[in-house]
């Protein structure tokens, strides 16, 4: 993993979008989405796609809704770390959690990766991702 520190990507960007069938070039606002690794006490647990904004709330909400934490008080610290992985902007969110919650998490390790969607969500770590797929063949359209 390339641990080059970066700034978080902007959550929103203005882009030119070609509207079909009129062929009009219009301005539009697009939401960014980046791989976000959720790391508990130094162990990567899951990677999800998320807009790079309010990642502290995203990580804490994930930990609470998945039953990793019983309450926000079980999280002793939280750090957002922008990374560059295979030339792609990524984020690792590190949570320091209570020993009781961490022991429970280790006992129920799971795999969230699913056969549908982007194919990224749910992998255990950023290292498990193939972020450089082969180029798509040119299309006639």
Cα 68 versus chain centre, distance = 18
User: Could you say which of 75, 101, 118, 121 is catalytic?
Assistant: 118
Cα–Cα distance, 93 to 100 (Å, whole number): 20
- Assess contact for 40 and 103: CB atoms under 8 A: no
75 among known catalytic residues = no
- Assess contact for 26 and 17: CB atoms under 8 A: yes
Which residues on adjacent β-strands are paired with residue 47?
37
Residues 6+ apart with CB under 8 A from 46: 37, 38, 62, 112, 121, 122, 123, 124
The pair of structure tokens assigned to 33 is: 């989405």
As annotated, the active-site residues are 118
């Amino acid at each position: 993993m390339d641990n080059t520190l970066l700034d978080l990507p902007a959550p929103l960007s203005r882009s030119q979008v070609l509207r079909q069938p009129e062929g009009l070039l219009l301005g539009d606002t697009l939401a960014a989405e980046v791989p976000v690794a959720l790391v508990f006490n130094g162990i990567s647990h899951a990677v999800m796609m998320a807009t790079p904004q309010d990642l502290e709330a995203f990580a804490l909400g994930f930990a609470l809704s998945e039953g990793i934490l019983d309450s926000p008080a079980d999280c002793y610290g939280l750090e957002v770390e922008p990374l560059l992985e295979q030339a792609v902007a990524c984020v690792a969110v590190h949570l320091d959690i209570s020993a009781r919650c961490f022991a429970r998490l280790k006992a129920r390790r799971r795999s969230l990766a699913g056969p549908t969607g982007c194919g990224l969500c749910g992998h255990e770590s950023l290292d498990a991702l193939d972020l450089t797929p082969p180029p798509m063949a040119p299309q006639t359209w």
